[in-house]
Amino acid sequence: MTTRSAPARRKRSWYATSAALFRWVHIYVSMLGFTMLLFFAATGITLNHPTWFGASEQSVRDEAGTLPEEFQVVPPSTADTAEAAEATVDKLGIAEWLRSSHQLKGRVSEFDVSEFEIMLVFKGPGYSADIFIDPASGEYTLMETTTGAIAVLNDLHKGRDSGLQWSWVIDISAIITILMSLSGFGLLFYLKRRRTTGLLTAVAGTVLLVAAWILWVP
């Protein structure tokens, strides 16, 4: 009895391999960026029409108080330099005491010290708190401004007051979107029946975008 040898496996062509690669990249990059793409698309609409969703509404809280004695600042004399005066201020201690006492959010974006006034500002997406301190008495006033969830999402879209790490998220999201677009465009070249109409559609979309820019943007 003779035994049949197994048929030799055909080597996959470069064409089929590259098509599979484009398909793999497009599918999984699309799934990786699915939520991100929805987020930036939806917040693009809310940014363009802030009054539709109440993003322009603000809530303001005013408070006043006095710093503990350990943080009170001796007003610098006219002979002191600005640097020497600023060095006597416990910036971290003051900022964290105010944060804890008034449940402030965000990060300290400004902390200015002068002979007559100390000012510090907390900033975050859709949030700000401005504090003005009298160096002589330690008395301060605080104005906190908060906005709704849509305004917070809009600031995240723009990367406003959201920190360095979130700016990386925006950059990575942009790279994912580019990969999605290019891999989808590359897949078009493996679809013979739709290649021409697909390319014409891409050209038409580009022309419409440029035309809108030329005609409607002042």
pLDDT of res. 2: 54
Give rounded-to-5 percent helix, strand, coil for the chain.
Answer: 55, 20, 30
| Three-state secondary-structure class, residue 132 | strand
| Three-state secondary-structure class, residue 143 | strand
Look up residue 156 and give its two tokens.
């995240």
pLDDT of res. 216: 95
At 203, the amino acid letter reads V
Place of tokens 């305004």: 151
Specify whether the CB–CB gap between 125 and 160 falls below 8 A: yes
pLDDT, averaged in runs of 10, over the chain (218 residues): 56 82 91 94 92 87 93 60 68 94 95 89 96 91 94 94 94 94 90 90 95 95
pLDDT of res. 153: 94
Measure Cα distances from 191 to 19, 25, 67 in Å: 10, 16, 70
- So where are the chain's domains? 14-53+151-216, 58-147
pLDDT of res. 15: 83
Radius of gyration for the alpha carbons in the chain, expressed in angstroms and rounded: 29
Report angle CA 147, 150, 153 to the nearest 5 degrees.
Answer: 100
pLDDT of res. 84: 62
Please, which residues bridge with residue 123 across strands?
107, 128
pLDDT of res. 79: 45
Taking the C-alpha atoms of residue 11 and residue 152, their distance in angstroms, rounded to an integer, is 54
Prediction pTM value: 0.81
